[in-house]
């Protein structure tokens, strides 16, 4: 792949303020893409924006709660005003609450489902019309190994990620004629803020790593490298499926 193979492309990335979202923003920017950094507030993406600009790439920051239809609609309009096009959509924003299914309140259920599933759907609803007719498009939905398995305390999170994987398949079928692919990435346990409490617990961390064949946590940069490949022409025949990047967790 050429170093600047995304020159002229516009990528919209949610949850871009840290972790996997930040890593994807940096790697796509390095390949020449112009980046729309999206998080709940502009302050959340200020550090990512500085890093992207330091790398010599163009980016803009946008505040948006992906659960809110009106905010996502406004975001789509703002992105088009700033960039005039959308080619890549990375639905990375997500949340998790760890407790047993029957212990969830309705409000907690809605928070997880609206963030992890409704949010990506709203982003697709408002941005896909701007992606059509360009002969190229990529939608990357960040799912999880919990879209394939589940565990104690992860039931509602798992349900939301199973739903996102189903949405990915539907998008791939519906958008194939437009040259837009839709692929899910399912990371295992990665060194992000979401896994920080687990990694800080020596006993729990050791038990988890013992169940991971590679016996280490993934790095955000490894997930970003996969996202970069999926945006390339070399990945143009990959759509409607899910790529596990989990250190072998789901192979057992």
Q: Distance between CA atoms of 57 and 26, rounded to whole angstroms?
A: 9
Please name the helix (run of DSSP H) or strand (run of DSSP E) that holds residue 166, with its range, or none: helix 155-175
Q: Is 229 a catalytic residue?
A: no
Q: Give residue 5's Cα distance to chain centre.
A: 21
Catalytic residue among 136, 157, 229, 237: 157
Please tell me the distance from the alpha carbon of residue 47 to that of residue 221, in angstroms, as a whole number: 17
b vs e for 23-60, b when ≥16 Cβ sit within 10 Å of the residue's Cβ?
bbbbbbbbbbbbbbbbbbebebbeebbeebeeeebebb
Q: What is the DSSP string of 112-150?
A: HHIIIIIHHHHHHHHHHHHHTTSS-EEEEEE--GGGT--
Report the C-alpha gap between 24 and 205 in whole angstroms.
25
Q: Give residue 247's Cα distance to chain centre.
A: 19
> Token pair of 9, please?
């492309």
Beta-carbon contacts of residue 140 (< 8 Å; ≥ 6 apart): 88, 89, 90, 91, 182, 183, 184, 185, 227, 230, 231
Q: Which residues carry out catalysis?
A: 157
């Amino acid at each position: 792949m050429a170093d600047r193979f995304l020159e002229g492309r516009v990528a919209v990335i949610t949850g871009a303020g840290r972790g996997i979202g930040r890593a994807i923003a940096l790697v796509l920017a390095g390949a020449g893409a112009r980046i729309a950094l999206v998080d709940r507030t502009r302050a959340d993406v200020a550090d990512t924006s500085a890093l992207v600009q330091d790398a010599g790439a163009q980016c803009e920051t946008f505040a948006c709660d992906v659960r809110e239809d009106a905010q996502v609609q406004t975001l789509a309009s703002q992105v088009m005003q700033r960039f005039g096009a959308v080619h890549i959509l990375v639905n990375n924003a997500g949340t998790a609450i760890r407790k047993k299914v029957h212990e969830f309140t309705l409000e907690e259920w809605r928070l997880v489902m609206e963030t992890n599933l409704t949010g990506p759907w709203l982003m697709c609803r408002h941005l896909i019309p701007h992606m059509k007719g360009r002969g190229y498009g990529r939608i990357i939905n960040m799912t999880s190994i919990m879209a394939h398995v589940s565990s104690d305390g992860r039931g509602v999170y798992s349900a939301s990620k199973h739903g996102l994987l189903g949405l990915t398949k539907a998008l791939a079928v519906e958008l194939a004629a437009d040259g837009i692919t839709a692929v899910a990435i399912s990371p295992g346990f990665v060194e992000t803020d979401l896994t920080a409490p687990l990694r800080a617990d020596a006993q729990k961390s050791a038990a988890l790593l013992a169940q991971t064949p590679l016996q280490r946590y993934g790095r955000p940069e490894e997930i970003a490298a996969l996202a970069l490949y999926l945006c390339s022409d070399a990945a143009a025949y990959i759509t409607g499926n899910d790529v596990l990047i989990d250190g072998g967790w789901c192979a057992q």
